[in-house]
Structure 1
Amino acid sequence: MRIRTYDRRLARGPRRDRGSYSVETAVLAPVMIALLLLMIAFGRVTDADGAVDSAARAAARAASLERDATSAQAKAQTAATRSLQGDGITCQASSVVVDTAGYTLDIGVEANVTATIACTADLSDIGLPGLPGSKTLTSSWTSPIDTYRGRQ
């Protein structure tokens, strides 16, 4: 008799596992989708951060090539906008601040131009709960002004 009850238990055992794959999939699928969306969000933020850094570098370089502070401001703004557009970054709000105090110094004195860019990147289209709708990325870059070139 003992052998028969053991055989019956073995026969019933695999039937108890029926549907367990469906439950595992139902539990793990949302977790895997959330991880995928989180990786996409981090990738987008990292990409946008690199683009903002590149735009700050381009703005500072463009400003350092000008002869006066007014045109340096304008060229820095244009260079930053072109750089961000070229990298495919769309900012909800952006600002370009250029420190042109180096243009007031005399020729022969080392001077610098610093460009600071802030860009608010949109993350609301990812739709992951707990993720902020936007993130503000800031970058600053300094470029030297030619020491022996005329300044106004």
Structure 2
Amino acid sequence: MTREPDRGSAAIEAAIGVPAFMMFVLLIVFGGRVTMARQAVASAAADAARSASISRTQPDANSAATGAASTSLANQSVGCTSTHVSVDTTGFAAVVGTPASVRATVTCTVDLSNLSAPGIPGSMTITESMTSPLDTYRER
């Protein structure tokens, strides 16, 4: 009894294995991009909150927070298609001697269209918030 050689088995293995491997690599890249974007947005929110907390007035705090968040995202090369910065400056109304804080929320829609594959969205909205204390005894 002679056995026929397994002709074409390598091609079948490649046809099944290569797409599965590529999808695995794509998922790793996707996870890394999302994690890096989350970290960058959290850092931008922290910068925004800190910039707002050292401002003297509420309007100055809003503009300082927006500028700090935009600069932070630009420096970290995050591909945001849209960015929104929201600052809660109600702490500025607190009486001097009362602990108060400023909260900044940064929302960034990250473009993921270059990672097109089934199950991977074309964009993802990431929102992070951070709080920074106001100086308790500073005039407001």
TM-score scaled by structure 2? 0.96
Unpaired segments of 5 or more residues in structure 2? none
* Distance in 1 separating the partners of 2:74 and 2:82: 13
Q: Which amino acid aligns with 2:81?
A: Q
Matches within 5 A, 1:105-116: 105-116=94-105
Instruction: Give % identity.
Output: 46
Matches within 5 A, 1:69-148: 69-148=58-137
Which has the greater radius of gyration? 1
* Distance in 2 separating the partners of 1:80 and 1:150: 25
Count residues with an aligned counterpart: 140
Q: Runs ≥4 in structure 1, deviation > 3 angstroms?
A: none
SS in 2 for 1:84: helix
* Distance in 1 separating the partners of 2:79 and 2:56: 31
CA RMSD of aligned residues (A): 0.9
Unpaired segments of 5 or more residues in structure 1? 1-7
Shift of 1:105: 1.2
Shift of 1:94: 1.1
Match of 1:39 in 2: 28
